Amino acid sequence: MVIIVQFAAGLLFGLGLLVSGMADPAKVQGFLDVAGQWDPSLALVMAGAIGVGYFAFRKACGRPLSFLGEEMRLPGAEAIDRRLLLGSLLFGAGWGMAGYCPGPALVAFAGGSAEASVFLVAMLCGMAAFEIMERMVLRKGALACN
């Protein structure tokens, strides 16, 4: 039952991305072009997502189990640090240049977009580079303590 609900939620999310225009890089870049021909329509999509997320997280806070009986695993970090700020800047810059973020890129990839394919390969390479650098930093820290 859980996997069916997960599939349905993912399908609904993907359809929402398609209907809202989030899987269209030109629409996203039009939204980000506040100094040119700004398209504010995605602001409504974001406001809706924030509203749904706000109430969903409020309902989920403090619950040990989901409605389907699965363990709740909500994010725990609350600190705004240098890593979060730099990561946010990189994410935003990539989103602005490519017109994709991960979810819409997967939807566009499933629709056969060559641009989305290139974006996903670049995203996976970036994730792998981060993991390699993170392990190197952790290894250096472990060596410094010995």
Q: Is the pLDDT of residue 146 over 70?
A: no
Read off the pLDDT of each residue in 108-134 and give the average, rounded to a whole number.
92
pLDDT score at 55: 92
- Separation between Cα atoms, residue 56 and residue 48, nearest integer Å: 12
pLDDT score at 22: 85
Instruction: With beta carbons less than 8 A apart as the criterion, state whether 116 and 109 touch.
Output: yes
pLDDT score at 145: 59
Question: Reduced to 3 states, what is the DSSP secondary structure of residue 71?
Answer: strand
pLDDT score at 92: 87
- Separation between Cα atoms, residue 146 and residue 141, nearest integer Å: 9
pLDDT tens track for 67-105: 888 888 877 778 898 888 998 998 888 888 888 888 899
Read off the pLDDT of each residue in 54-68 and give the average, rounded to a whole number.
87
Residues near 42 by beta carbon (within 8 Å), at least 6 away in sequence = 20, 21, 22, 27, 28, 31
- Separation between Cα atoms, residue 54 and residue 59, nearest integer Å: 9
